[in-house]
Structure 1
Amino acid sequence: MQSKDRIEKMRAFIIQFAFYCILLLLIFVTLKYLFPLLSPFVTAFVIAFLLKPVIHYIHKHTGLKRRTAAILSLCAFYILFLTLLIVVGTRLVLLLQGVFHSLPQTYASLIEPALNKIQFIIVDVVENLNPDALSIVNEVSMHLNTALSGLVSSLSSKVVGGLGSMAAGIPTSLVNLIITIVASFFFVVDYYKVTGFIAKLLPPRGKELLFEVKSSVVTVLFQFGRAYALLMGLTFVELFVGLLLLRVPYAFLLALLIAVVDILPVLGTGTIVIPWGIITLILGNFPLGIGLLILYAIITVVRQSLEPRVVGHQIGLHPLITLISMFVGVSLFGFLGLFGLPIAVTVFVQIKRAEKENQEHLSEKE
């Protein structure tokens, strides 16, 4: 009898394990290959979902038909969005073009003198230790300067060319934007018809699961946003206080800019603070250079120790699971995976937790 029970439990475990493996594979294929193709429609549905409370409010308090309220809300949203996109995008492109056009000049006026200073220090040290090696050091320094100068010029031209390629890719982006706008009109006008049609296609358990996922995703997204807002706020405070103590001008604006950049996994605080600190040290401003590097070290230690804990606490996951899901997510799916996989894991855990609670509740009734 015990062996039969053991076999049944093992069989149930194997079936459940195989089911979750297939589910994970389907999710991976969907996110990796299908999502880029369906992204305009997914974006349109998300916009319709987010505008639903606004549409309901206008419909309830103005007496307008829901269809009219939906169209007005969506038009207002796109007017605001496109205005911000054009203004911010134009300024950003012009700023980047200006920065990279002036990069060779910046190298000649700022970085090259710093490198020359390092070269003089190395030459003095080598001359005192081994005068015969002086010619080798001079030759290496000359080649290094030439290589760096060429790299900066090449980088400048490549980035400017890259901006041109981005401009060439605008037609494709424009087509995606038009599809998103048209699809979002259909979604906001017939939101309940679309969701009702999808619900009819699903079995009863599928409907329950869909509503559970929807409820969990909304909750988790709010908690995730709150967690990263806390982290960004903490980074901003650390930067602002540190830059004030170092007497850096425009401390507030610089701290705000670096805190926003810090959220991005590819960039982070070090993208700005480390080069800033090193160049400042080379130019001879040791208090500011050392202060910036110490500030970066403090921010990094605090961020690395708190991020899994804060995010895990907000979304209800153990810090280790949060860290693993963030690492796997960013490795498989890039920037979106950093946030997407922890959210997906949290939704899954919450659904399983809710199922367990329901089963316990039913068993208590029996």
Structure 2
Amino acid sequence: MRAFIIQCVFYSILLVLIFAVFKFLFPLLSPFVTAFIIAFLLKPVIHYISEHTSMKRRTAAILSLCAFYILFITLIIVVGTRIILLLREAFYALPQTYSTLIEPALNKVQFMIVDIVENLNPDALSIVNEISMHLNTALSGLVSTLSSEVVGGLGSLAAGIPTSLVNLIITIVASFFLVVDYYKVTSFIAKCLPPRGKELLFEVKNSVVTVLFQFGRAYALLMLLTFVELFIGLLLLRVPYAFLLALLIAVVDILPVLGTGTIVIPWGCICLIMGNFPLGIGLLILYAIITVVRQSLEPRIVGHQIGLHPLVTLISMFVGVSLFGFLGLFGLPIAVTVFVQLRRAEKECRQQAESRKES
């Protein structure tokens, strides 16, 4: 009983420390963590260049990092330009879209409401008018709230630009130092740790790399599953460009803030309003099937890939996204998996040591 209480206290303190690190310390150290991740990812490339050419490691490191940032900036420019062009095209097409799709749909809804109201008795009509007044008041309050939140969000975004630029500059400078002196930095950190701490650090590194690979494979499998469901469903509904639409929606579905419903639900509702009931009902049924399959299989697939029970995976994902937002959705299951693997490795080492003593 005493050992159980000690373990409960130990794990409680550990959870509090992990929460404090992720919530308070990680935002402060994020530029250096990002720089270290970049240096770690470029390490095999730098090693390959220095081994297969006459170039020194320092020169290979600087050139590799410069090439990385050039490719990264080019990708941002290309993607950003493409997004701006798409937004401009959508903005120019907005009047035509409104006149051909939205306005007829709104008129149809208005005529339906007028027909229903005209057939009501006076008592029901007064109730409908009262509900309409409350809805108008609620919508006005919602619009004003959204407007203030948008203005506040834009102000916060503008105020955060200098901090983001400083973090970006620190990340770039720190990454240059780290790629050049990667082994010196890691050796210094290892020397500052006790032997057990050094072993634990290398075990954590190996576990994190393994878990990240397994996590990526799990979500790639989920995206493939969603794509197949969408592609088959859109083909059955005889939607043109089914392959491209399924691919686009599957990519959006990976993002927890958006998901499949961001595209499929408005699409289905517009089809119902416009009178295209087979397509509208079919899209909503397709969304329901994808949601049920995703919610039931995601904890199992992710848990199977990273070695956790589906219930533990679901709890860690929910707690992570509640405490830390988008990063917590992936970060906490990874942290739990690393912790479980370390405990498993420690238990195996203890059993091997006990078996050696007995022999």
Which one of the candidate residues 1, 19, 22 is aligned to 1:31? Answer: 22
Which one of the candidate residues 299, 306, 310 is aligned to 2:301? Answer: 310
Structure 2 CA distance for partners of 1:48 and 1:151, relative to 1, 3 Å: same
Partner of 1:200: 191
Which one of the candidate residues 270, 273, 291 is aligned to 1:279? Answer: 270
Structure 1 residue 109 displacement after superposition: 5.3
Contact 1:104 1:153 (C-alpha < 8 Å) held by counterparts: no
Q: Look up the equivalent residue of 2:330 and give its one-letter code.
A: F
Deviates more, 1:28-37 or 1:223-232: 28-37
Deviates more, 1:106-115 or 1:341-350: 106-115
- Note if 1:239 corresponds to 2:267: no
Q: Distance in 2 between matches of 1:255 and 1:142?
A: 41
Q: Distance in 1 between matches of 2:130 and 2:102?
A: 19
Gaps of 5+ in 2: none
Q: Distance in 2 between matches of 1:115 and 1:148?
A: 17
Which one of the candidate residues 335, 357, 365 is aligned to 2:348? Answer: 357
Q: Percent identity?
A: 85
Deviates more, 1:10-19 or 1:342-351: 10-19
- Note if 1:343 corresponds to 2:345: no
Structure 2 CA distance for partners of 1:352 and 1:154, relative to 1, 3 Å: closer
Deviates more, 1:73-82 or 1:264-273: 264-273
Which one of the candidate residues 62, 69, 77 is aligned to 1:78? Answer: 69
Provide the secondary structure at the position in 1 that maps to 2:5.
helix
Partner of 2:105: 114
Provide the secondary structure at the position in 2 that maps to 1:265.
coil
Q: Normalising by structure 2, report the TM-score.
A: 0.89
Provide the secondary structure at the position in 2 that maps to 1:266.
coil
Structure 2 CA distance for partners of 1:156 and 1:244, relative to 1, 3 Å: farther
Contact 1:325 1:345 (C-alpha < 8 Å) held by counterparts: yes
Q: What is the Cα-based RMSD across aligned positions, in Å?
A: 3.0
Which one of the candidate residues 154, 173, 182 is aligned to 1:182? Answer: 173
Structure 2 CA distance for partners of 1:345 and 1:24, relative to 1, 3 Å: same
Q: Normalising by structure 1, report the TM-score.
A: 0.87
- Deviation per residue, 1:208-246 (Å, 9 max, x gap): 110110010000000000000000011011112211222
Structure 2 CA distance for partners of 1:16 and 1:162, relative to 1, 3 Å: closer
Which one of the candidate residues 31, 46, 68 is aligned to 1:55? Answer: 46
Which one of the candidate residues 316, 321, 327 is aligned to 2:318? Answer: 327
Q: Distance in 1 between matches of 2:22 and 2:183?
A: 26
Q: Distance in 2 between matches of 1:248 and 1:341?
A: 39
Partner of 1:222: 213
- Deviation per residue, 1:267-300 (Å, 9 max, x gap): 1111111111011101111111011001101101
Q: Distance in 1 between matches of 2:164 and 2:52?
A: 37
Structure 2 CA distance for partners of 1:161 and 1:235, relative to 1, 3 Å: same
Q: Distance in 2 between matches of 1:101 and 1:168?
A: 30
Q: Distance in 2 between matches of 1:326 and 1:280?
A: 35
Q: Look up the equivalent residue of 1:323 and give its one-letter code.
A: L
Provide the secondary structure at the position in 2 that maps to 1:247.
coil
Q: Distance in 2 between matches of 1:349 and 1:212?
A: 12
Provide the secondary structure at the position in 2 that maps to 1:363.
helix
